[in-house]
Structure 1
Amino acid sequence: MIQTNGPLNKPPNRVLLVSIPRTASNLLVKVLNLPNQSNVHSNEKAGYFFYPGFVTAARGGYMEKPAEQWTNQEKEQVRATYQGCLDKIEECTSEAEEKNKMMFAKEHSFWMHPPASFQKKITGVHNEEFFNTFRVNTPEKYGSTRTYSPLNETIFSDEYLRSWQMIFIIRHPALTWPSFWRSMLKFSKEGIIDEDEVQGGTTMANMSMRWSRSLYDWNLHQDRRHAPPILDAYDLIHSPEVVIKFCEQAGMNSTALQFEWNCQADDSDHWASAQKVKEVATKTGVDERHIRASHIMLNTLSHSSGLLKDKTPEEVDISTEMVKWKAEFGDEVAGKIKKAVWDSMPDYEYMKARRVTV
């Protein structure tokens, strides 16, 4: 197993937790206990700055649209939304700097990849002009030049990405992708997304670990001496000593970690009520659909008081799991999940072999 060399000599100014839906990333944030990390600053969601950008692209069906079919108005709408997301995270960074604290954000890896990257996955063709359509303008303090190395398929320049210390969380695809599909079905039932969006290509494109691996490989290419820390969800739940080491490598205080907490089910259920959702939406300006989606994704965590070890078993047999998927989703969807799982296994095994161990 490859082990990281620990944090840089100087504590990092910004930590970016790169995740994928249903990898226990919200559980990790709970364990990290950010409110009691005296040297850490974030927003109330501990990240999710780029969710609006991805939603704008996904809801318009743009992720599946070839470059030649885009109108200038559509391109500018998506790019402007990404730019707004960047501006928000920079505002939060400025707040952290004023407080002399580390900036922390959690983002799903594919949120930072534009439609051009999804098209490259579909066609195998890198359209540099199409990538340039979505790339955001970054503040001068990150450098007067903006370069984009071959491994960088994000909306950011290399210079901007280097301003973050990235850390990663992964989970076995046979546990991740059926859970993700289950969440998409709940989104559809709640009217957050259309049923066509559940079955569409964007959902399948998201069910991939290539987005996280490409960012991990980009980091290695930039600095081979310091491999970004990777935490497997199994170790998060079953090996506190690994979590402590992971936390320290991220430059955070391991004594603040929590592995038990008070169940927040009552608060969560109240927060999810129609009236409460409307109040939060009015106060924050966040779309009500986004608020309901957050509640769905946090439901299990909100009803827990600690680590649920049965959610992440040590051994995962894909053939056995396939029987469960057929019973729950039907043969067609089970087949899609199975393909996504097997397609993701090489990337998962690659990153798992490089995870933090003790």
Structure 2
Amino acid sequence: MAHADSHTRSSVAHTKILFFSHPRTRSNLFIRLLQTHPQILFNHYPLMQCFMRGPESQWPEELKEEAFKASGLTKEEGDKKHAHFTYQAALDDIEKTLAEAQEKGKFCLIKEHTAYTFDADFLRPYVDYGQRPRPAMVDHKLDVAGSVEEAELQLPSPPFPNPTVLPDRLVATMTPVIIIRHPAYVFPSWLRAAASYGASVDSPKFKIPGSLRWQRFIYDFYRAYYDKIDDEEKKGWPIVIDGDDLVEDTQGQMKNFCELVGLDESGIQYSWESAGRPTDNVKNAFIGDLKESTGVIKGLSFSRDPDLDEQVKKWTEEWDQDIAGKLREAVISSLEDYQYLRARCLQTSPDTLIMLGIRKSD
């Protein structure tokens, strides 16, 4: 069991951040808060379109066609429109963003939904999208500016292989941040928003947002990597944030996050100008409330440990018994992953900065 003082303030600025998000975990709120800071450059979802709609899509063709149809495109039109969304272009763009941030002396945050950093082969035991070629990517090292030491850095060899499609040395040199939220809130929230493009709990598309195993995979990978290299500074990493903690104690969470990565928290503004609701139905369903907001929306009552039977009753009233039952199954399947990560979350303390490796005995 780790003690409260197991992680103290970082003396090193972690300027390159890889933010592993998941739908409906309040990841957009976290980014919105950081977007008020003048010292951060962002690259949002560089791999998402590659994974879903690009020429090397890891989705099966029928899901691609459904996505195109939802956008009013034929398959031919969709393929043409998304032809430039290659994994190589995405990797080059990530590295260029990192290089630009370094040149300007800023932090860089790359945000991507965790599952979209994997390929179909990695996902197959859990989500079978069929045989898909692994994306072809060459690490041009556009971000290292001739730094031999960084360019040659590699992750340790198996048994801890890199689960993502990104180059080993890039994943190794970035600071991982993982966001979670209770699955009883995440999964129905996704179902409501995804209805904007016709997705349902029965859709193959639900298999990714309807599980938190991806967040645990990334946590366990990095934890094993840090143990392998025996990095004393990173005994409490990766950083794990619970989206509901972010709403309950916004400033406390952001202050502690900034302390950990070496960012000046005073640069964050906790209010902003409303951008108005998006006119696009899908964007409005997923980020409409945030776009319309002028700050963190508080006052919503929720339980940290919701009564699942009570939630099922609400879902049955909102949808029907069949959908409520399937949501219940998904939540139960993800509870262990959530509780595992929840025990490793960034905590707020009035006296000291705490990043628990483990909050309670396993």
- Give the alignment's TM-score, normalised by structure 1: 0.76
Give the length in aligned residue pairs. 307
Find the aligned partners of 1:168 and 1:120 in 2 and give their Cα distance. Answer: 22
| 1:116-195 correspondence to structure 2 within 5 Å | 116-122=121-127, 133-134=134-135, 136-140=137-141, 141=144, 142-143=151-152, 149=158, 150-188=160-198, 195=199
Q: Kindly state the Cα deviation for residue 131 of structure 1 after the two structures are TM-superposed.
A: 8.9
Instruction: List runs of 5+ in structure 1 lacking aligned partners.
Output: 64-73, 189-194, 274-291
Find the aligned partners of 1:326 and 1:241 in 2 and give their Cα distance. Answer: 36
| 1:1-358 correspondence to structure 2 within 5 Å | 5-6=7-8, 8-32=10-34, 34-38=35-39, 40-43=40-43, 47-56=44-53, 57-58=58-59, 60-61=61-62, 81-122=86-127, 133-134=134-135, 136-140=137-141, 141=144, 142-143=151-152, 149=158, 150-188=160-198, 195=199, 199-224=202-227, 225=232, 226=234, 227-239=237-249, 240-265=251-276, 268-269=277-278, 272=279, 293-311=282-300, 313-315=302-304, 316-357=306-347, 358=349
> Secondary structure at 2:97's aligned position in 1?
helix
Find the aligned partners of 1:86 and 1:219 in 2 and give their Cα distance. Answer: 20
Question: Using a 3 Å threshold, how does the CA distance of structure 1 residues 314 and 83 change in structure 2: closer, same or farther?
Answer: same
> Secondary structure at 1:104's aligned position in 2?
strand
Find the aligned partners of 1:113 and 1:167 in 2 and give their Cα distance. Answer: 17
> Secondary structure at 2:124's aligned position in 1?
helix
Q: Deviations over 1:160-186 (max 9, x none)?
A: 211210112111110001011111111
Instruction: List runs of 5+ in structure 2 lacking aligned partners.
Output: 65-78, 145-150, 350-362
> Secondary structure at 1:22's aligned position in 2?
coil
> Secondary structure at 2:110's aligned position in 1?
strand
> Secondary structure at 2:315's aligned position in 1?
helix
Question: Using a 3 Å threshold, how does the CA distance of structure 1 residues 79 and 305 change in structure 2: closer, same or farther?
Answer: closer
Q: Bigger shift: 232-241 or 144-153?
A: 144-153
Instruction: Write 1 or 2 for the structure with the bigger share of helix.
Output: 1
Find the aligned partners of 1:320 and 1:254 in 2 and give their Cα distance. Answer: 39
Q: Equivalent pairs: percent with the same residue?
A: 25
Q: Kindly state the Cα deviation for residue 62 of structure 1 after the two structures are TM-superposed.
A: 7.2
User: What is the CA RMSD across the aligned residues, in angstroms?
Assistant: 3.1
Find the aligned partners of 1:218 and 1:207 in 2 and give their Cα distance. Answer: 21
Find the aligned partners of 2:10 and 2:259 in 1 and give their Cα distance. Answer: 11
Aligned partner letter, 2:274: C
Aligned partner letter, 2:41: H
